[in-house]
Structure 1
Amino acid sequence: MTEYNYDRFSTSHYTLDNFQGPAVGRKAQDFPMQTTDGARRQLLDFAGDFLVLEIGSITCPLYQSRRGKMKTLTDDYPHTSFAIMYVREAHPGEARSKHEDAEGKLANARALQFEDGEGRTILIDDLEGHAHVAYGSFPNAVFIINKKHCVVYYSDWNNPTATGRALVNLKAGKPAPGMGMFLPATPSIGIATLKNAGEGAGMDFLQGLPRLFWENLVKRNLRVLFRRPQPISPDMNC
């Protein structure tokens, strides 16, 4: 097994055709997390009717590209809880390098909040990524979890439009539809994210781009087209 906090991005750090996170109908695991003000809280301690939990980091172009549309969902659903699980840097570079200690990870999460303007609650995983590994280890997965801590929707790659459709159904008492198509990062946001990560991040991304294209835009999206979603009640007890 490779080191969790890698120095440089490589597609070898991900099993792109075999997502290992909790599927629909499974129990979501709870973990102790840290907030950006240094407080401790549990991952599944939320007040809303559902928790929309998105995986992200400041160096992830996909996550950064989704933030605008996810902000709209946050505004549209004030009675739903939204949170970010802050994980390892997806594309570390000289400016935003891999996390060497908890303080470095906290600093990057705070930069995401105060410099980039992330308004959702940021919950910081531990340095070894125990929560992230339990939730599949992908850099921008999303989960919707009910009050009984059951996963009622997930996608290995967040598609905010599909996440919004899932919320519409769940709040109406209906099962969520299947996950949406994988969408690449917005070019301008992706370039800016890699540039801000520092030297090395962009080149590592370009080297992995052919496999990312094949595994996600082609193979993964074809699997989604032919997959039948599992109908799960929004209030199921697992």
Structure 2
Amino acid sequence: MMSSYNYDEFSTSDYDFDRIDGVDLGGKAKDFMLETTDGEIRRLLDFSGEFLVLEMGSRTCPLFQSRRNIMQPLEREFSNLSFAVLYVREAHPGSNIPGHKSFEDKATCARQLKEADGETRTVFIDTFEGLAHQAYGSMPNAVFIINKNGCVVFRSDWNNPSSTRKALRELVEGRPITARSFFLPAVPTVAIRTMKNAGKGSAADFFKGLPFLVWTNIFKRNWRLLFKKPAQYSGETLC
């Protein structure tokens, strides 16, 4: 039996897709003292770049793994910004990469993200109970852009790298953000590889919840977003 935050098997009931809590768009970002995969203890919001691009992820999240090949080059394209990953609970645990039973389990997985999967960004390891993750809404692959005032100027419950890139381009050019982040499914080959690496049980739980995920995110969420006016925050936003 695991904590209420960590789980052995994925279920859609582990997430509230209709009501996303956590830091608000335009609100103050939450700061935490966290360990990195390099063994340093750092403040999450102690960043040197003009903005911080913070993405939630885990090794067993097909969406996160699908986005990495696009997000990592953004770090080179926007070299004056700071990029980081917050390592959270395993999205689709399996026999090879099970749900975390201790902080060391989580730290080991985070280090494997760097060493085995080749992640190049700074990786912060969340607490075992997921305190930072829950403060940022608990979604498995959310992304946030935070300005030097500590304000969230862009957030998406699901990272769409093209929209994230557009938002960054608007910010560095001094324009308000108009980007809207529509949900895109994981790349099939990456999803299969991710769940194969996770081990037995990962794919079965994923496909069990797939119809609900498709309806909730591809149809319901994207339809709502289509008619929602962008908030248009900027680098100068105060909170």
For 1:221 and 1:155, how far apart are their aligned partners in 2? Answer: 12
Task: Give runs of aligned pairs for residues 1-238 of structure 1, distance below 5 A.
Answer: 3-238=4-239
Q: CA shift at 1:37, angstroms?
A: 2.2
Residue-pair matches, total? 237
For 1:12 and 1:64, how far apart are their aligned partners in 2? Answer: 22
8 Å contact from structure 1 (residues 154, 179) kept in 2 = no
Which range moved further: 80-89 or 35-44?
35-44
- Note the alpha carbon deviations across 1:161-218, whole angstroms, 9 max, x for none: 0000000111111111243210000000000000100110000001000100000000
For 1:131 and 1:49, how far apart are their aligned partners in 2? Answer: 22
Question: What is the identity, as a one-letter code, of the residue corresponding to 2:96?
Answer: A
Question: What is the identity, as a one-letter code, of the residue corresponding to 2:103?
Answer: A
8 Å contact from structure 2 (residues 25, 153) kept in 1 = yes
For 1:40 and 1:55, how far apart are their aligned partners in 2? Answer: 18
For 2:131 and 2:233, how far apart are their aligned partners in 1? Answer: 27
Identity, in percent, stands at 54
Task: For residue 9 of structure 2, give the secondary structure of its aligned residue in structure 1.
Answer: coil
For structure 1, the 5+ residue unaligned runs are none
Question: What is the identity, as a one-letter code, of the residue corresponding to 1:85?
Answer: L
CA RMSD of aligned residues (A): 0.9
For 1:215 and 1:17, how far apart are their aligned partners in 2? Answer: 8
For 2:50 and 2:64, how far apart are their aligned partners in 1? Answer: 24
8 Å contact from structure 2 (residues 164, 179) kept in 1 = no
- Note the alpha carbon deviations across 1:17-75, whole angstroms, 9 max, x for none: 11113222100000111111222111101000000000000000000000011112111
Task: For residue 191 of structure 2, give the secondary structure of its aligned residue in structure 1.
Answer: helix
Q: CA shift at 1:230, angstroms?
A: 1.1
Task: For residue 195 of structure 1, give the secondary structure of its aligned residue in structure 2.
Answer: helix
For 2:164 and 2:33, how far apart are their aligned partners in 1? Answer: 25
Which range moved further: 76-85 or 22-31?
22-31
For 1:74 and 1:39, how far apart are their aligned partners in 2? Answer: 21
Instruction: Tell me the TM-score normalized by structure 2.
Output: 0.97
Question: What is the identity, as a one-letter code, of the residue corresponding to 1:125?
Answer: D
Task: For residue 219 of structure 1, give the secondary structure of its aligned residue in structure 2.
Answer: helix
Q: CA shift at 1:11, angstroms?
A: 0.4
Task: For residue 86 of structure 2, give the secondary structure of its aligned residue in structure 1.
Answer: strand
Task: For residue 149 of structure 1, give the secondary structure of its aligned residue in structure 2.
Answer: coil
Task: For residue 55 of structure 1, give the secondary structure of its aligned residue in structure 2.
Answer: strand
Task: For residue 230 of structure 1, give the secondary structure of its aligned residue in structure 2.
Answer: coil
For 2:50 and 2:15, how far apart are their aligned partners in 1? Answer: 32
